[in-house]
């Protein structure tokens, strides 16, 4: 048997995995990163709009700080997030931005003097102070009180990924692409690495490590219409769940991005609306102010997605051969702005829709509608990124660290990937320094032989099921029955139909009998795992009888903090079961810094309060008065309300322009 040993094994070569690898390597560890694709082609590169961090540099960002970023993130999550993790994140994000600048990310910078902008559909002039010339600029994004999203035109993820990849190479990280983890090696509740398949040769081998970190991205490809790359299939999360020890959190929390190009599904960045673009219906009418008079197009993504579909349903959609849609109008920003700050968007619209969005008037309007975009759910971890399986960590979109709760704010995703790579990467590295590889060779041999036999059985199976028929049926079910709007009967049908598909997937007929260079074989072992992920999403959505963030139940329209202020945990303890096991963990309202309240969208009072809300609010009020009477600052108040653990170098105060020396 072929076995490779290392100190730290990282599965996934996007921003989170590579940044964690840098942390581990800087600890002097032997680090191996495994990636399905060359790491610079990881899905992190697809992020266009920007990365949130409360720098407070620009005119429209003045006064921003960690408290405001924290408040926006918690409200954006619809109070589903872990507030301790949110505090860790907002405190570290400004440091991450500056570190990335040191890595070589060419952040768009402030230029002194007047500059044109579009705010609320109107052309305005913003004047930047000369003292701020050259500092990192920020743009507006949905769900935020300040302009907080740092960017490099509309290729932010690309710039970040190349910079972090270069840093990993510079530090001597051993990066191996075209490798796929197909199972986790574990024994007695402890992880020892993974069984890995070489996608070129088909060879199966074992990678044994002191610690293993999953950073395999989201699971959007269980849907038919998604902005996700084809590699975002959720198999990384599935193999963690298949250990029977690791659990998945909040899998029903799936985000649909409001502005996806019709029919290709390619993302039109939130930067389009952040920079002043507007949404129009079939009559050219700007409709979002009617629904959300305060935030309009810059309401949270879940809100904008619902409003678009509601407007289409009211008869205001634009008919097309690919279904009804609405228009995204960025022509009002002007050609100069688009060709400077939204170049990728312009190129995508030209290439895939034959439209130049810089053309004036309706000629430049881009057809869009909501499609699946992001996975808030993932492998459940604690605040240090450690899963229920000792020695297995998880970071980035693959995880339920739980920064995002039930809705992610735009710009918080690539930000989380890097920040989690820093924070969790350091905790992971510390674990690896102290851990020992005490796995027995017979355990390694058992997992190797198990996977070899499984793959051989797929090739020799005399079944009669076509893997692509099953895969496409799954995607259709998820689109039609587990989408933006959900209700009990359709979710019940989805669970039943997906379970039947999962049973059928055990009887596949793989026509191509080669062990290498065989996409059909790869789908044959991936699709059953994708079905497990889809079942976790559908069953979690069925059981959660409330509406929270991106999870919208039309039969249960209120957020129910009394019954559902809790996190869903999905597991698969018995390999023979055909449905996930669900359990729940409560979010402790008595430890929250910000208790659940009106989110700022729709009708006030559209939630059922938690019975302890008033008690915690009274405590918060009392603590606040005590700190203020003592002359305490916002840092002392925050620490009194909700102390949180964070490595000292990340918890250090962030410096901002205008701070007292």
User: What pLDDT score does 77 carry?
Assistant: 96
Could you say which of 197, 273, 280, 301 is catalytic? 301
Report mean pLDDT in 10-residue bins for the chain, 661 residues.
95 97 97 96 90 95 96 96 98 97 96 92 92 95 90 92 97 97 96 97 96 97 94 97 98 96 91 93 96 91 93 96 95 94 93 95 94 96 98 97 94 95 98 94 96 94 92 97 96 98 96 92 97 98 97 96 98 97 98 94 87 97 96 95 96 88 52
List beta partners, residue 209. Answer: 6
332 alpha carbon, distance to own chain's centre: 30
Count CB-CB contacts under 10 A for residue 628: 12
Strand 326-329 versus strand 278-280 pairing type: antiparallel
Reference 471, options 170, 272, 235; nearest CA is 235
Distance CA 281, CA 319 (A): 11
Q: Could you tell me which residues come within 8 angstroms of residue 86 by beta carbon, excluding any fewer than 6 positions away?
A: 70, 73, 74, 77, 403
Strand 552-553 versus strand 485-486 pairing type: parallel
Contact between 410 and 141 under an 8 Å Cβ cutoff? The reply is yes
User: What pLDDT score does 154 carry?
Assistant: 83
Largest CA distance in the chain: 77
The answer to whether residue 301 is catalytic is yes
User: What pLDDT score does 53 carry?
Assistant: 97
DSSP letter at 312? I
In 190-324 the beta strands, taken as DSSP E runs, fall at: 190-198, 204-214, 248-249, 254-261, 278-280
Could you tell me the two tokens for 96?
Answer: 């991450």
Reference 72, options 407, 562, 417, 557; nearest CA is 407
C-alpha dihedral over 92, 97, 101, 102, to 10 degrees?
0
Distance CA 417, CA 377 (A): 14
Distance CA 484, CA 501 (A): 22
User: What pLDDT score does 478 carry?
Assistant: 97
Q: Could you tell me which residues come within 8 angstroms of residue 232 by beta carbon, excluding any fewer than 6 positions away?
A: 43, 217, 218, 219, 220, 221, 226
Reference 385, options 181, 82, 97; nearest CA is 82
List beta partners, residue 551. Answer: 548
Could you tell me the two tokens for 628?
Answer: 């203020």
User: What pLDDT score does 410 carry?
Assistant: 87
Give start and end residues of each alpha helix (H) in 223-327.
235-241, 271-274, 288-291, 301-311
What size, in residues, is the chain?
661
Interval 522-568: pLDDT, tens:
999 999 999 999 999 999 999 999 999 999 999 999 999 999 999 99
619: left (phi over 0), alpha (psi -120 to 50) or beta: alpha
Interval 168-201: pLDDT, tens:
999 999 999 999 999 999 999 999 999 999 999 9
Could you tell me the two tokens for 481?
Answer: 């029955």
Give start and end residues of each alpha helix (H) in 589-643.
613-629, 634-641
Contacts of residues 617-624 at CB distance under 8 Å and 24 or more positions apart, as own/partner, are 619/590, 620/593, 620/595
Distance CA 546, CA 561 (A): 9
3-state DSSP of 539-595:
HHHHHCCCCECCEEECCECCEEHHHHCEEEEEECCCCCCCCCEEEEEECCHHHCCCC
User: What pLDDT score does 660 carry?
Assistant: 67
């Amino acid at each position: 048997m072929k076995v490779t040993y290392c100190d730290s094994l990282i599965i996934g070569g996007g921003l989170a995995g590579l940044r964690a690898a840098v942390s581990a390597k800087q600890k002097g560890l032997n680090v191996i990163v495994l990636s399905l694709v060359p790491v610079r082609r990881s899905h992190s590169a697809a992020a266009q709009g920007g990365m949130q961090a409360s720098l407070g540099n620009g005119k429209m960002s003045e006064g921003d700080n960690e408290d405001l970023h924290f408040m926006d993130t918690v409200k954006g999550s619809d109070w589903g997030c872990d507030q301790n993790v949110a505090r860790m994140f907002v405190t570290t994000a400004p440091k991450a931005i500056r570190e990335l600048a040191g890595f070589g990310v060419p952040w768009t910078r402030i230029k002194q003097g007047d500059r044109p902008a579009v705010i609320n559909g109107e052309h305005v002039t913003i004047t930047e102070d000369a003292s701020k010339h050259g500092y990192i600029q920020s743009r507006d994004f949905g769900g935020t009180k300040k302009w907080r999203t740092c960017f490099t035109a509309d290729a932010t993820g690309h710039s970040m990924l190349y910079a972090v990849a270069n840093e990993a190479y510079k530090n001597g990280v051993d990066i191996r692409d075209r490798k796929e983890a197909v199972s986790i090696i574990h024994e007695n509740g402890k992880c020892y690495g993974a069984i890995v398949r070489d996608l070129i040769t088909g060879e199966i081998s074992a990678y044994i490590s002191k610690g293993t970190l999953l950073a395999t991205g989201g699971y959007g490809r269980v849907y038919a219409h998604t902005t996700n790359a084809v590699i975002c299939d959720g198999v990384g999360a599935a193999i963690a769940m298949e250990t029977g020890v690791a659990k998945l959190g909040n899998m029903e929390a799936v985000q649909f991005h409001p502005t996806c190009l019709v029919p290709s599904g390619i993302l039109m960045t939130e930067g389009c609306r952040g920079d002043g673009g507007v949404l129009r219906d079939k009559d050219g009418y700007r409709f979002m102010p009617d629904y959300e008079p305060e935030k309009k197009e810059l309401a949270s993504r879940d809100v904008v997605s619902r409003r678009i579909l509601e407007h289409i349903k009211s008869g205001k959609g634009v008919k097309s051969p690919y279904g009804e849609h609405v228009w995204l109008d960025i022509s009002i920003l002007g050609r100069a702005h688009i060709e400077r700050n939204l170049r990728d968007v312009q190129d995508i619209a030209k290439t895939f829709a034959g439209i130049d969005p810089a053309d004036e008037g309706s000629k430049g309007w881009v057809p869009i509608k909501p499609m699946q975009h992001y996975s808030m759910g993932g492998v459940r971890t604690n605040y240090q990124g450690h899963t229920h399986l000792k020695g297995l960590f998880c970071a980035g979109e693959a995880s339920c660290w739980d920064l995002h709760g039930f809705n992610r704010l735009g710009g918080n995703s690539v930000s989380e990937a890097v920040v989690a790579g820093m924070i969790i990467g350091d905790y992971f590295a510390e674990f690896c320094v102290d851990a020992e590889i005490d796995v027995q060779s017979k355990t390694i041999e058992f997992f190797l032989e198990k996977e070899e036999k499984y793959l051989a059985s797929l090739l020799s199976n005399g079944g009669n099921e076509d893997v692509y028929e099953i895969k496409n049926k799954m995607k259709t079910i998820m689109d039609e029955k587990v989408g933006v709007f959900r209700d009990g009967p359709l979710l019940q049908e989805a669970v039943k139909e997906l379970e039947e598909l999962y049973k059928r997937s055990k009887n596949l007929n793989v026509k191509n009998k080669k062990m290498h260079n065989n996409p059909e074989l790869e789908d044959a072992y991936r699709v059953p795992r994708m079905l497990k992920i889809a079942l976790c999403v559908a069953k979690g959505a069925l059981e959660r009888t409330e509406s929270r963030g991106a999870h919208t139940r039309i039969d249960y329209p209120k957020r129910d903090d009394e019954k559902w202020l809790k996190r869903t945990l999905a597991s698969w303890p018995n390999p023979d079961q055909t449905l996930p096991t669900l359990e729940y963990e409560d979010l402790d309202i008595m430890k929250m810094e910000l208790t659940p309240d009106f989110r700022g969208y729709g009708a006030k009072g559209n939630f059922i309060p938690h019975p302890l809300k008033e008690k915690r609010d009274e405590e918060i009020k009392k603590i606040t008065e005590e700190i203020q009477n003592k002359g305490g600052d916002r840092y002392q108040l925050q620490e009194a309300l909700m102390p949180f653990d964070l490595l000292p170098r990340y918890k250090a105060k962030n410096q901002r322009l205008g701070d007292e020396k």
